[in-house]
Amino acid sequence: MAAEATIIGAGTIGLGWTALFLARGLRVRVNSRRADAERVVREGLELFAPTIPGGGADPEELVTRLRIEPDLDRALDGADVVQENAPENLELKRELFGKVAAAAPPDALLLSSTSTFLPEDIGADLPDPRRVLVGHPFNPAHLIPLVEVVAAEGADPRLAERAVAFYRELGKTPIVLDHGINGFVANRLQSALLRESIHLVRSGVVTVEQLDAVVVNSIGLRWSTVGPFQSFHLGGGPGGLRHWLSHLGAGLEKGWAGLGSPPMDEQTVRTLIDQADQAFAGRTYEQLAAERDARHTAVLRALAELGEGDATR
Amino acid sequence: MAAEATIIGAGTIGLGWTALFLARGLRVRVNSRRADAERVVREGLELFAPTIPGGGADPEELVTRLRIEPDLDRALDGADVVQENAPENLELKRELFGKVAAAAPPDALLLSSTSTFLPEDIGADLPDPRRVLVGHPFNPAHLIPLVEVVAAEGADPRLAERAVAFYRELGKTPIVLDHGINGFVANRLQSALLRESIHLVRSGVVTVEQLDAVVVNSIGLRWSTVGPFQSFHLGGGPGGLRHWLSHLGAGLEKGWAGLGSPPMDEQTVRTLIDQADQAFAGRTYEQLAAERDARHTAVLRALAELGEGDATR
C-alpha cells in the first residue's frame, strides 16, 4: 500500500482527499501556496473527520501524519501517489504535471481530480503523456464512494489497475471508464436530470422545493439502492429488462422527444434563484452541508450494515 | 380519517396499496375479477408486509380487514376512498370511473394510480369530470414515499387537499403538481437520466453494470439525502445556487447540447439486454426485488432515525 501521498491544492476537494488519506493511515503532504494553508487544512479536517466513512476520525490524530509543504519539489520527494486538485485550467494543470513528473519518483501514481479534462491533455508536457490518470471524485470527496478513473488512450492497462487498487484501499468505489468523454459519466447523468428539472420548474409544474422533494422521495431513494438499469430490470418483472424493453422500449424515444430543453435566459435564472432563496431560507451553508453529510453517512452505514456491504448491486 | 377503502385491480400497484392501506388500519375491499384474486392478494400481502414502513406488519393481522369483492357496486358501497389501478387504457378507465361515481358515495375520494392520463380525461364520463384525482405512486407502492397528486383543471382546490391529507395519514409524501404534464415529474426525470444512461452504454464508455454502480455510489446516494437543486445550492458554497448559476449557468446549455440522443434500434436494445443478462445473471426476480426492498427499508429507516424524520430536505 502507498505510504506517502502528495495532495496538490487545498480547496474543498483537496481537503476532502486529505482527510480521507490521513484517516486511512497515509502520510500526507499538502502542497499549497496559500498563506493560511495550515489553518484552512486544519479546519477542513475538523469539518470532515466526523463523517469519514466507517465511524469518523479524530482530527488531532490525523494531523500527526500531515505536513503543509508550499514547495512543490519538496512536497513530491519520495511520494507514492499524487492527487492533484488545482483549478480547472488546462494550461495550469499541464504545466503543473510537467513539474510533478520531474520531481516525483518515476513510479509514483499521478492522479488528477479534474472533472473536465482528459488525462492525455493534462499530461501533454510529460515525456510520456499517458502516465497521468484522472481520478475524479464526487463532492464531498471523503464521503461519496465513487471515483471515476480514466486512463489516457493507449496507456498501459496496469496503470488504471494500480489506481483502482489504491482507491479500493481507501474504501472508495473506483469505476474505470472505457474511454474519456466530456463530463465523464456521473456529471453527464446529473446534467441530464437537471435539464428536465429546470424545464419542469420553468413550466410551473413544480417549484424548486417540490422538485427536490419528488427526487428525494422517489428516484433518489431508489437509486441509492439499485441503479437505473436494475430498476427497469425489476420493473419488467420476472421477464427482466428484456420484457420491459419489449413493452416500453418503443415508447422511450417518443417520451424523450417530449422532454424539455430550457433556455438559461435571465427569466429562468431569476425563477430558480428566487425559488431557491425561498426553499433554503434561514439555513446557512454550514447547517445545510452538515445535514447533508449526516444523511449521507446514515445511508451509507445502513447499506453497509445490510451484510454484504456492497452498495453496487 | 377514512375507514373504508376500495382498491380496484390486483396487479403489483394495487397489491402494494392494499398492503399499506390495511397496515394503516383501513378496511379494504379489493375489486378484481381474477378467479385467483384471493390467492394473489394473500401472496402480495405476505410479500409486502415485512417492508411496510415503520417496522413491517403481520399478514395474518392484515387479512382480518380485507375482503375480495368481484362485484364493483358491492365493492364501492359506503367507500370513503377509491384507489384505481386498472391497466393503462383510457377508454377502460373512463368507463370504470363512470360506474365508480354512480356506485360510490357522492363525497368519496376518487383516486387513480395512472402514470399516463390526466384526471379530467379519466373523469370524462362523470357528471363532474373534475371529481377524479390522480394519485400516482412509485413502485413498490407500499414502500416509496412519493405520491404525485394531480387535480383536474378547474377542480375545487379542497379536493387535492383532501387527497394530500389522506396520503399523509398513510405516511406517504404527497406532492401536488400545479398542473398535469405527460409522465408527471418523477418519470420524466427518470426518463431523462435513462436517455443519457443508454447513450453512455451505447457509446461503450461504461457497461450496464458499471452505469448502475456509478449511480448508486454517487448521485443516487446524494439524491436520497438532498434533491438536485439543494445539491447545486450547496455546490455553490456559501453563495448558494445564485453563485453556482452565475459561475456555471452559462456552461449548462453547452453541456446539454453535448448529451446523447440514442436511437432505440435493434443493436441498442440487444446491447442493453445482453449486458443486463450478464449483470443480473444467477439471481432471480424475487431475490433481486427482496434485496432492493431491504435496502429501501434500511435507507428510509436510517433517514427517519436522524431525528426530524423529514427526508424532503
Which of B117, B145, B176 is where one domain is finished?
B176
| A307 within domain boundaries | no
pLDDT tens for each residue of A93-151? 999 999 999 999 999 999 999 999 999 999 999 999 999 999 999 989 999 999 999 99
Question: Which residues, other chains included, contact B64 with Cβ-Cβ below 8 Å and sequence gap of 6+?
Answer: none
Per the CB < 8 Å rule, is B189 touching A193?
yes
Same structural domain for residues B11 and B112? yes
pLDDT of residue B238: 84
How far, in Å, CA of A113 to CA of A81, rounded?
Answer: 13
Per the CB < 8 Å rule, is A227 touching B211?
yes
More confident site: A258 or A33 = A258
| Long-range contacts (CB closer than 8 Å, 24 or more residues apart) made by B263-268 | B263/A253, B264/A249, B264/A250, B264/A252, B264/A253, B264/B198, B268/B198, B268/B202
pLDDT tier, A286 (very low <50, low <70, confident <90, very high otherwise): confident
How far, in Å, CA of A148 to CA of A176, rounded?
Answer: 6
For residue B84, pLDDT beyond 70: yes
**Nearest CA-CA distance, residue B93 and chain A, Å:** 20
| Nearest-Cα residue of chain A relative to residue B223 | A220
Which of A145, A176, A207 is where one domain is finished?
A176
Report the pLDDT averaged over residues B159-168: 98
pLDDT tens for each residue of A167-222? 999 999 999 999 999 999 999 999 999 999 999 999 999 999 999 999 999 999 99
| A21 within domain boundaries | yes
HSE of A165, CA atoms in CB hemisphere, 13 A: 10
pLDDT tier, A249 (very low <50, low <70, confident <90, very high otherwise): confident
Smallest CA-to-CA distance from A62 within A74, A73, A52, A77 is with: A52
| A119 within domain boundaries | yes
For residue A312, pLDDT beyond 70: no
Instruction: Determine which helix (DSSP H) or strand (DSSP E) holds A65, and give its type and residue range.
Output: none
pLDDT of residue A24: 97
Could you tell me the CATH number of the domain that includes residue B32? 3.40.50.720
Q: Give the domain range for residue B214.
A: 186-281
**Nearest CA-CA distance, residue B67 and chain A, Å:** 26
Same structural domain for residues A168 and A257? no
- Partners of residue B273 in chain A, C-beta under 8 Å: 241-242, 245
pLDDT of residue B121: 97
| A311 within domain boundaries | no
Same structural domain for residues B171 and B114? yes
Same structural domain for residues B136 and B9? yes
Same structural domain for residues B164 and B195? no
ipTM given for this complex: 0.96
Mean pLDDT over each residue of chain B, to the nearest integer: 94
| B95 within domain boundaries | yes
| B63 within domain boundaries | yes
Same structural domain for residues A55 and A148? yes
pLDDT of residue A310: 46
How far, in Å, CA of A213 to CA of A218, rounded?
Answer: 8
Cell numbers linked to B195: 436517455
| A169 within domain boundaries | yes
Alpha-helical runs (H) found in B49-89: 59-62, 72-76
pLDDT tens for each residue of B209-254? 999 999 999 999 999 999 999 999 998 888 889 988 887 777 899 9
Same structural domain for residues A251 and A193? yes
- Partners of residue A226 in chain B, C-beta under 8 Å: 212, 216, 288, 291-292, 295
Smallest CA-to-CA distance from A113 within A59, A77, A167 is with: A167
Which of B126, B148, B176 is where one domain is finished?
B176
Same structural domain for residues B14 and B131? yes
pLDDT tens for each residue of B34-70? 999 999 999 999 999 999 999 899 999 999 999 999 9
Smallest CA-to-CA distance from B85 within B76, B67, B97 is with: B97
SS3 B83: strand
Rg (CA), chain A: 21
> How many separate domains does chain B show?
2
More confident site: A247 or B21 = B21
Same structural domain for residues B148 and B204? no
pLDDT of residue B312: 41
pLDDT of residue A33: 86
Q: Say which residue the cell 364493483 belongs to.
A: B72
Q: Say which residue the cell 428539472 belongs to.
A: A197
pLDDT tens for each residue of A44-90? 999 999 999 998 999 999 999 999 999 999 999 999 999 999 999 99
Same structural domain for residues A167 and A236? no
Could you tell me the CATH number of the domain that includes residue A259? 1.10.1040.10
Per the CB < 8 Å rule, is A245 touching B272?
yes
What beta strand segments (E) does B138-279 contain? Answer: 146-151, 173-176
pLDDT of residue B251: 86
For residue A268, pLDDT beyond 90: yes
- Partners of residue B229 in chain A, C-beta under 8 Å: 197, 208-209, 211-212, 272, 276, 279
| B300 within domain boundaries | no
For residue B307, pLDDT beyond 80: no
The burial of B305, by beta-carbon neighbours within 10 Å (0-12 exposed, 13-18 middle, 19 or more buried), is given as exposed
Same structural domain for residues B191 and B77? no
Question: Which residues, other chains included, contact B70 with Cβ-Cβ below 8 Å and sequence gap of 6+?
Answer: B31, B32, B33, B37
Cell numbers linked to B87: 391497466
Q: Say which residue the cell 452498495 belongs to.
A: A311
Question: Which residues, other chains included, contact B171 with Cβ-Cβ below 8 Å and sequence gap of 6+?
Answer: B24, B53, B54, B145
Same structural domain for residues B241 and B172? no
For residue B104, pLDDT beyond 90: yes
| Nearest-Cα residue of chain A relative to residue B276 | A241
pLDDT tens for each residue of B265-298? 999 999 999 999 999 988 998 899 889 999 999 9
Contact A122, A99 (CB under 8 A): no
For residue A311, pLDDT beyond 50: no
Contact B188, A252 (CB under 8 A): no
pLDDT of residue A267: 94
